[in-house]
Amino acid sequence: MRAAVLFQENHPLEVVEVDLAEPGPGEVRVRLAATGLCASDWHTMTGAIPSPTPSVLGHEGAGVVSSVGDGVERVAPGDHVVLSWVPSCGHCRYCESGRPNLCATATPALLAGTLVSGARRLSYRGSPLYHYSFLSTFAEETVVDEAACVKIRKDVSLSVAALVGCAVTTGYGAVVNRARVEPGSTVVVLGAGGVGLSAVMAAGCSGARHVLAVEPEFSKRQLASEVGATHVVDPGGEDVAGLVRSLSGGEGADVVIEAAGRPELVAEAFGLTRRGGTVVCVGVPPVGAVVSLPGPDLVRHEKVVTGSLYGSCRPHSDMPRILDLYAEGRLPLDRLVTRTYALEEINAGFADLVSGRLARGVVALAEAPGGDARRPGGG
């Protein structure tokens, strides 16, 4: 099968024929239909977030189960799945307390570039390749751990489902799971890429009264206003703080989501938030970045500043639920796809990503079976 291989950091991906071994016990083989291009893959290509090479990158994918290894119970051949990059163990203190996104049981295997068992199923000309984020979705097929397979309804587009594997769940979950946005709230989202736009949609879906998207790129501000932002702001020239104050009776926003990955924006987010409000940091700043906040206000204003990893999600319940909302027309997730590429065009896709043109770029890997049940305009 074909895969886009990163042989070396700071080199383009190379689309080559690779071999994929059959799934071992507790593993699942998936024929991928689509994969999204995420900034995190790019950070690995440049070495900013190192991962062992040569490897097959990609961690935002969906497809159809083609075979299963011994003992697999969660999915069967023919099932449609979104792939989750946190194959949680199910029995550590985090899994037990309903926070499987914080399960660190598999972290050593993540860093080693293998599946959870330590196995590698990918190879090129007889030499093993490393996996990436347990998923390696820049390929026509992949072998993943059973825990990474989230079974989904069969009547939604697998291109849209792929985005639920990272950007959508991250942005949606920051709003719904972490900030727990209430109806009537004022929500500010800093950065309207795939993650921020998903947060904008989720805020609208949660009944927020004012949803402000702050984004320097004109085309993304426009898209934000089409998918639920009540106000869009260019941080380069407009007075974000003044607008937030005027909309909130001088109080500040109930919730501010940082989805740009710029550490200096965390202090700005803090300043935009009302007393007792919540700042959710979703963007991942560069390694070594430090965030500083005004100390007295941190105490006196009782603001909550929190991170959110993978939308603080429980993948097996949240991802199907997100796709139900999509199918009902309440989350226009298909609007995130700016452009679709063939696997051979993947480097052009990353060039577009770096240029800031994409809300999300998607690589189509196989003809997706079935149709798309979405009923547009449902709410």
Ligand X SMILES: NC(=O)c1ccc[n+]([C@@H]2O[C@H](COP(=O)([O-])OP(=O)(O)OC[C@H]3O[C@@H](n4cnc5c(N)ncnc54)[C@H](O)[C@@H]3O)[C@@H](O)[C@H]2O)c1
Active site residue 95: no
Region near Zn ion per CB under 5 A, out of 82-90, 221-229, 286-294, 364-372: 82-90
**Minimum distance from residue 116 beta carbon to Zn ion (Å):** 11
Does 293 sit near Zn ion (CB under 5 A)? Answer: no
- Of the pair 61, 196, the CB lying nearest ligand X is at 196
Does 92 sit near Zn ion (CB under 5 A)? Answer: yes
123 strand-pairing partners: 19, 128
The whole-angstrom separation of Cα 270 and Cα 298 is: 9
Does 309 sit near ligand X (CB under 6 A)? Answer: yes
Active site residue 38: yes
The whole-angstrom separation of Cα 352 and Cα 187 is: 29
**Look-up of token digits 């926070």:** 99
CB 26 within 8 A of CB 72: yes
Does 309 sit near Zn ion (CB under 5 A)? Answer: no
CB 315 within 8 A of CB 83: no
- Phi/psi of residue 35, nearest 5 degrees: -140, 140
Active site residue 43: yes
Active site residue 166: yes
The interface partner of residue 194, options being ligand X, Zn ion, none and the CB cut-off 5 to 8 Å by kind, is ligand X
The whole-angstrom separation of Cα 99 and Cα 101 is: 5
**Minimum distance from residue 13 beta carbon to Zn ion (Å):** 16
**Minimum distance from residue 78 beta carbon to ligand X (Å):** 29
Instruction: Catalytic residue, from 38, 103, 205, 313: name it.
Output: 38
- Phi/psi of residue 316, nearest 5 degrees: -75, -20
**Minimum distance from residue 345 beta carbon to ligand X (Å):** 18
One residue of 130, 134, 138, 310 binding ligand X per CB under 6 A: 310
The interface partner of residue 310, options being ligand X, Zn ion, none and the CB cut-off 5 to 8 Å by kind, is ligand X
Does 156 sit near ligand X (CB under 6 A)? Answer: no
One residue of 23, 63, 283, 349 binding ligand X per CB under 6 A: 283
CB 350 within 8 A of CB 37: yes
Nearest CA to 85 out of 333, 280, 283, 310 is that of 310
State the SS3 of 211-277.
EEEECCCHHHHHHHHHCCCCEEECCCCCCHHHHHHHHCCCCCEEEEEECCCCCHHHHHHHHHEEEEE
One residue of 103, 156, 232, 346 binding Zn ion per CB under 5 A: 103
**Minimum distance from residue 350 beta carbon to Zn ion (Å):** 13
One residue of 214, 244, 253, 280 binding ligand X per CB under 6 A: 214
**How many residues contact Zn ion, by CB under 5 A?**
9
The whole-angstrom separation of Cα 191 and Cα 168 is: 14
The interface partner of residue 44, options being ligand X, Zn ion, none and the CB cut-off 5 to 8 Å by kind, is none
CA 260, 262, 265, 270 dihedral sign is positive
Query: What would the two tokens of residue 168 be?
Result: 């959508």
Which DSSP state fits 130? B
Instruction: Catalytic residue, from 55, 59, 159, 205: name it.
Output: 59
Does 166 sit near Zn ion (CB under 5 A)? Answer: yes
Residues near ligand X, by CB under 6 A: 38-40, 166-167, 170, 190-196, 214-217, 220, 235, 259-262, 265, 282-284, 308-310, 356
Q: Which residues bind Zn ion (CB under 5 A)?
A: 38, 40, 88-89, 92, 95, 103, 105, 166
**Residues acting as catalytic residues:** 38, 40, 43, 59, 166
